[in-house]
Amino acid sequence: MNKDSAKAEIDRLIFEINRYNDLYYMESKSEISDYDFDLLLVELQKLETQFPEFAYDYSPTKRIGGGITKKLDAVVHRFPMLSLSNTYSEDEIIEWENRLKKNSEGKLEYVCELKYDGVAIGIQYENGILKQAVTRGDGTKGENVTANVRTIRTVPLQLKGDFPSDFEIRGELFFPLKKFHELNEQRIDIGEEEFANPRNTASGTLKLQDSKIVSERGLDSYLYGLYGYDLPLEGHYESVLKAQEWGFKIPDPKNNLMIKTDSINGIMDFIHYWDKNRSKLPFEIDGIVIKVNDYLQQQELGFTAKSPRWAIAYKFKTERVETVLESVSYQVGRTGAITPVANLKPVQLGGTTVKRASLYNSDQIQKLNLHINDIVQVEKGGEIIPKIVGVNKDKSDQSNLKIEFIDKCPECYTPLKRIEGEVHHYCPNELLCPPQIKGRIEHFIGRKAMNIDGLGAETVDVLVEKRLINSYADLYSLTFDQVVNLERMADKSADNLIKGLEASKNIPFERVLFALGIRYVGETVAKKLAKGFKSIDNIQKATFDELVNVDEIGEKIAISVQQFFLNEKNSEIIHKLKNAGIQFSLKEKEGTTDRLKGLIFVVSGVFKTFSRDELKEAIETNGGKNASSISSKTNYVLAGENMGPAKLKKASDLGVQIISEDDFIDMLK
């Protein structure tokens, strides 16, 4: 394919992929299957690799992420990002509106919007292309998070229509509640502490060094504030609607996410509606924002030192209720982590009946100094998880039985252990404790692991209770006759289960590694280990130093991996899975060689011809290994522009050879 043909095909693919992306994320419509969409994306990636001069910044392949940003640069805002004055009082909203009437000429119109509980962002576009994305920071300057914002599907990389040549749009990036729940479930699966709330998690995600992880987490956006010198319209409401035509996801008035009104009654109706209905939203809000619509009137009203006079935020009060703490029970997770749960006298909170609340760990119980029949104060943490935030001492009887954290597993009565530096207590009886057995099997069969059709949690419970299985390896010994005799299992269901088990033998190694349920080995870490060692045997034999030399594998993960394989029972399970035909090695890609066999590389800096990920892949494809830090075992540092001086000095001190991108290409010839 010549350059002209390649450019035309790349332009076509970008247009098609962006169109499908807009339909899916903006209009909830799908005209193409996920598989076919991924094929288009792969085709585009191949062409961009072959013709890097056409790998545009607005290409949808930039949403996949993969670049590493070691430091977030500070950027001065062209237009200060001032915060809004807040109030919890409707009377103060009325006073604010009266002041505006006295200080402004002409009839006032107001725009009411939701106050999203996320991260404020300002995104600059030049000639319709996303140029830069900056957090609020201190209002004068923020952090450059452009690489991470490019991965967010609802932020357009290229605009359409009659947009201004240079402008900034502001809004909020947030974590959808469904994605937040999924992320916490993944963390629980690998024995990590849950994230506290979507807002802080969104903020932390936006500052991650690896944009690929940001892409996988699924942040969302609403963009609604236009800033520039030649904006085409005279009012905020009209500008937001215009921005929708250019490709932005806005708070759509059709869904009552934004209204324009000319009265205090209209403002109050909007406040009351969302105070009552906010729990139905798929994301968090903590109030309502009211703005004067007309830009000239905004200028006329002006600013205080900290905030605009023409806008105000009404914040909802966090709903708190009191109820009786009846008892505390304890849950055992897949990794053996013990989670205390408060059992409460049922009470209405945020539109739902609350009967239980998480107590997180023993430290929380001790901090609250809980007793049976205490009158406890309950809130919904981040509008999601009920939590006990205090005790009404005046109404509680401190002579009642004090809650003491258990010292034995509630399921198998094994004495609990607490690892130094960790918040959880653990049941160490991992191979005989029933919830741990069932939890590991449920993790193994999950959609992101072995994805076994016809097998769910209820069936796992029955199989374990009937003693047909005691580990996930036993699944592959099940016969049709054993399964079909189970309760509520017909011939077809049994047949689907056996076929699902057979099909899972084709699941690739990195997902098998994740499915094993090694503590701290989530999806990303499993991929890194699989790429770094190529097979389960190599991982099993790996030394501590070899493990930590793999990119993103720290000491805690390395120790956990070694402990897993030192356990004889786990080795037996791996042996059974091997005999069943499970994939325990990476399938070699076409074009693999051993030219770099035994050589360890550290890739650092910015490169002209290839991205860092492409260079790392080339190293692995040709038998070499990537390391994240320079050590005496490093053979080469592959250095691009802007390589950090600390790495340069360390390589020189250790006598590690530094090579250029061209030198590396010559090594492969």
Q: What are 498-537's pLDDT values in tens digits? A: 999 999 999 999 999 999 999 889 888 898 899 889 999 9
**The two three-digit tokens of residue 399, written as one number:** 């002579």
Range ranked top by mean pLDDT from 5-9, 560-564, 617-621: 560-564
Measured distance CA(467)–CA(255) in Å, rounded: 52
Residues 6+ apart with CB under 8 A from 103: 300, 301, 309
Which residue intervals of 278-416 are DSSP H helices?
295-301, 362-368
**Alpha carbons 644 and 651: distance in angstroms, whole number:** 11
pLDDT in tens, 282-335: 998 989 999 999 999 998 898 886 789 999 999 888 778 999 999 999 999 888
| The residue type at 9 | E
Compare 243 and 650 and report the one with higher pLDDT.
243
CA distance 111 to 94: 15
Q: Smallest Cα–Cα separation from 68: which of 611, 617, 648, 621?
A: 611
Looking at every residue in the chain, the average pLDDT score rounds to 88
Q: Are 118 and 202 in contact (CB under 8 A)?
A: yes
Q: What is the pLDDT of residue 17?
A: 85
Helix, strand, coil percent values for the chain (each to nearest 5): 40, 20, 40
Three-state secondary structure of 53-99: HHCCCCCHHHHHCCCECCCCCEEECCCCCCCCCEECCHHHHHHHHHH
| Mean pLDDT (whole number) for 191-206 | 83
Q: Six-digit token pair at 539?
A: 């991982």
Residues designated catalytic: 115
Q: What is the pLDDT of residue 210?
A: 81
In this predicted structure, the answer to whether residue 612 has a pLDDT above a threshold of 70 is yes
Q: pLDDT tier at 475 (50, 70, 90 boundaries)?
A: very high
A 10 A CB-CB count for 464 gives: 17
Confidence of residue 351 (pLDDT cuts 50, 70, 90): low
Pairing of strands 119-126, 258-261: unpaired
Distant-in-sequence, close-in-space partners of 156: CB < 8 Å, separation ≥ 6: 18, 22, 130, 246, 247, 248
Least-confidence region, from 206-220, 329-343, 573-587 = 206-220
Question: Which of 399, 342, 330, 338 lies closest to 376, judged by CA?
Answer: 342
The pLDDT assigned to 521 comes to 92
Q: What is the mean pLDDT of residues 431-456?
A: 91
Q: Look at residue 561 in the predicted model and tell me its pLDDT.
A: 95
Best mean pLDDT range from 106-110, 351-355, 381-385: 106-110
Q: How far is CA 635 from the centre of its chain?
A: 35
| Cα distance between residue 4 and residue 54, in whole Å | 10
Q: What is the percentage of the chain residues whose pLDDT exceeds 70?
A: 95
Taking residues 159-169, report their average pLDDT: 93
**Residue whose C-alpha is closest to residue 545's, from 620, 634, 617:** 634
158 Rama class: left (phi>0) / alpha (psi -120 to 50) / beta:
beta
How far is it, in rounded angstroms, from Cα 226 to Cα 295? 11
* Confidence check: pLDDT of 633 > 80: yes
Q: Residue 195 — pLDDT band, cuts 50, 70, 90?
A: confident
Tell which CATH classification among 3.10.129.10, 3.40.50.300, 3.40.718.10, 1.10.150.20 matches the domain 509-580. Answer: 1.10.150.20
**Amino acid making up residue 239:** S
Q: Are 110 and 293 in contact (CB under 8 A)?
A: yes
The CA distance from 259 to 238, in Å, is: 11
Tokens of 388: 């006990």
Q: What is the CATH number of domain 74-315?
A: 3.30.470.30
Selected residue with higher pLDDT from 168 and 186: 168
CA 563 to the chain's CA centroid? 28
Least Cα distance to 88 among 387, 312, 348, 381 occurs for 312
Is there a contact between 224 and 243 (Cβ–Cβ < 8 Å)? Answer: yes
Fold of the CATH domain 600-668 = Rossmann fold (3.40.50)
Which pLDDT score, from 0 to 100, does residue 508 have? 93
What average pLDDT does this structure show over 203-218? 87
- State pLDDT tens for residues 535-578: 999 999 999 999 998 877 889 899 999 999 999 999 999 999 99
Q: Domain 3-55 belongs to what topology?
A: Helix Hairpins (1.10.287)
| Homologous superfamily of the 434-506 domain (CATH) | 5' to 3' exonuclease, C-terminal subdomain (1.10.150.20)
* pLDDT, greater one: 486 or 537: 537
**What's the chain's length in residues?**
669
pLDDT at 251: 95
Kindly report, residue by residue over 598-609, the tens digit of the pLDDT.
899 999 887 877
What's the pTM? 0.59
For 593, counting Cβ atoms within 10 Å of its Cβ (0-12 exposed, 13-18 middle, 19+ buried), the class is exposed
Residue 386, H or E segment = strand 385-391
Of residues 54 and 62, more confidently modeled:
54
Please check whether the two domains, 434-506 and 509-580, share a CATH topology: yes
- Residue whose C-alpha is closest to residue 198's, from 383, 447, 411, 392: 383
Q: For residue 636, what is the enclosing H or E element?
A: strand 636-639
Q: Which one of 3-7, 24-28, 32-36, 660-664 scores highest in mean pLDDT?
A: 660-664
Question: What SS3 class is residue 424?
Answer: coil
Are 125 and 169 a contacting pair, CB within 8 Å?
Answer: yes
User: Considering only CA atoms, which of 392, 337, 374, 381 is closest in space to residue 357?
Assistant: 381
Q: Give the chain's end-to-end CA distance (angstroms, integer).
A: 23
Rounded distance between C-alpha atoms, residue 104 and residue 110, angstroms? 13
Nearest Cα to Cα of residue 634 among 575, 527, 551: 551
Most confidently modeled range among 32-41, 77-86, 101-110, 410-419: 410-419
Domain ranges for the chain, please list them: 3-55, 74-315, 320-416, 434-506, 509-580, 600-668
- Name, in order, each residue with C-beta under 8 angstroms of 21's C-beta and a sequence gap of 6 or more: 60, 153
Buried b / exposed e along 192-217 (16+ C-beta atoms within 10 A): bebbebbbebbbebbebebbbbbbbb
Task: Give the residue with greater pLDDT, 83 vs 270.
Answer: 270
Q: What local confidence, expressed as pLDDT, does residue 438 receive?
A: 94
Residue pLDDT, tens place only, 103-157: 888 899 999 999 998 999 999 999 999 999 999 988 888 999 999 999 999 999 9
Just give the CATH number of 320-416: 2.40.50.140
Q: Which helix (H) or strand (E) holds 659?
A: strand 657-659
Q: What are phi and psi of 319, to 5 degrees?
A: -75, 130
Return the beta strands (E) in 257-384 as ranges. Answer: 258-261, 285-292, 311-315, 320-332, 338-349, 352-358, 375-381
Question: 366: pLDDT confidence band, cut at 50, 70 and 90?
Answer: very high
Q: Would you state the structure tokens that stand for residue 322, as one six-digit string?
A: 């009191």
Residue 200 pLDDT? 86
